[in-house]
């Protein structure tokens, strides 16, 4: 039971990392996923080959094409370009055609299996903070999770993958900071079928309200009793040093020892005849 709790906590923690607009690391965008063969181009060379602070224009007259190019650019961007993206998105938020194009690109990426691209698209749409865009995010969060597919270590991969996307979407819903949509975030914090989404809904609700005690009190009735430890999770804020964060983390783990990784289980000692740390063949010469 303790091991399962730790695994769930570890996975939901991964989603918190994706809460921001961009990942902060370089992702090499491709027309199609290439998970079977990783790129042999190091990120440093990708950055050197780019002209920084030059996002593609978001043009309502050619909405789908320009949004496609913008998502690709955002996927390759670095932290120093966040403000460039935000300025472009703030202007694009005035165009219904561009908002619609973002939703179409997100769905196209998801259908093609390009989860990374869909994740970037969801983050960008949430950053636009529009009513129509947020309505789409709500509908995306409410989609039924897959029930068939590949099971690895007891986890249905298709279900987990969609849950991670829905977690990004619920973060965008909370980012609008609108009472109508906040009620949806609070509802999903206790009722979404995936713990990944529930945990992210809790985190996003609190973060967008300044992690105040009042926000916690408002949200707590919606949160499942066995998941109220998510209300206490620590967050490393901008400018906070490692020492200060570690103090918060230590206090949290002391209050919730069930989320700590289990101690490694010692293996039985090998019998002497196995001669550990030796090979039975001569290694080839270099």
Q: How far apart are CA 248 and CA 187, in angstroms?
A: 28
**Structure token pair of residue 175:** 């980012």
Q: What is the pLDDT along the chain (286 residues), one digit of tens a residue?
A: 444 444 554 455 444 333 334 433 333 334 455 556 667 777 777 777 889 999 999 999 999 999 999 999 999 999 999 999 999 999 999 999 999 999 999 999 999 999 999 999 999 999 999 999 999 999 999 999 999 999 999 999 999 999 999 999 999 999 999 999 999 999 999 999 999 999 999 999 999 999 999 999 999 999 999 999 999 999 998 899 999 999 999 999 999 998 888 888 888 777 777 666 666 677 788 7
Q: How far apart are CA 116 and CA 122, in angstroms?
A: 10
Question: 3-class secondary structure for 241-286?
Answer: CHHHHHHHHHHHHHHCHHHCCCCCCCCCCCCHHHCCCCCCCCCCCC
pTM for this predicted structure: 0.79
């Amino acid at each position: 039971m303790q091991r399962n709790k730790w695994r769930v906590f570890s996975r939901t923690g991964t989603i918190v990392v994706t809460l921001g607009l961009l990942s902060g690391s370089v992702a090499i965008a491709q027309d199609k996923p290439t998970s079977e063969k990783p790129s042999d181009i190091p990120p440093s060379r990708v950055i050197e080959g780019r002209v920084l602070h030059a996002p593609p224009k978001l043009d309502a007259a050619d909405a789908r094409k320009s949004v496609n190019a913008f998502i690709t650019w955002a996927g390759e961007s670095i932290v120093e370009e966040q403000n460039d993206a935000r300025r472009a998105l703030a202007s694009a938020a005035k165009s219904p055609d561009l908002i619609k194009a973002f939703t179409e690109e997100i769905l196209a990426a998801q259908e093609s299996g390009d989860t990374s691209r869909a994740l970037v698209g969801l983050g960008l749409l949430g950053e636009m903070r529009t009513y129509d865009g947020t309505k789409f995010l709500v509908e995306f969060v409410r989609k039924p999770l897959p029930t068939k597919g590949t099971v690895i270590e007891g986890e249905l991969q298709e279900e987990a993958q969609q849950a991670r996307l829905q977690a990004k979407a619920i973060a965008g819903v909370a980012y609008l900071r609108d009472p109508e949509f906040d009620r949806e975030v609070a509802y999903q914090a206790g009722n979404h079928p995936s713990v990944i989404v529930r945990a992210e809904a809790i985190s996003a609700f609190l973060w967008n309200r300044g992690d105040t005690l009042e926000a916690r009190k408002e949200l707590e009735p919606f949160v499942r009793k066995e998941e109220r430890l998510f209300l206490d999770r620590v967050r490393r804020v901008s400018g906070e040093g490692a020492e200060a964060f570690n103090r918060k983390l230590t206090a949290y783990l002391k209050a919730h020892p069930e989320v700590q990784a289990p101690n490694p289980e010692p293996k039985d000692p090998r019998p002497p005849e196995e001669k550990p740390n030796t090979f039975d063949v001569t290694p080839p010469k270099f």
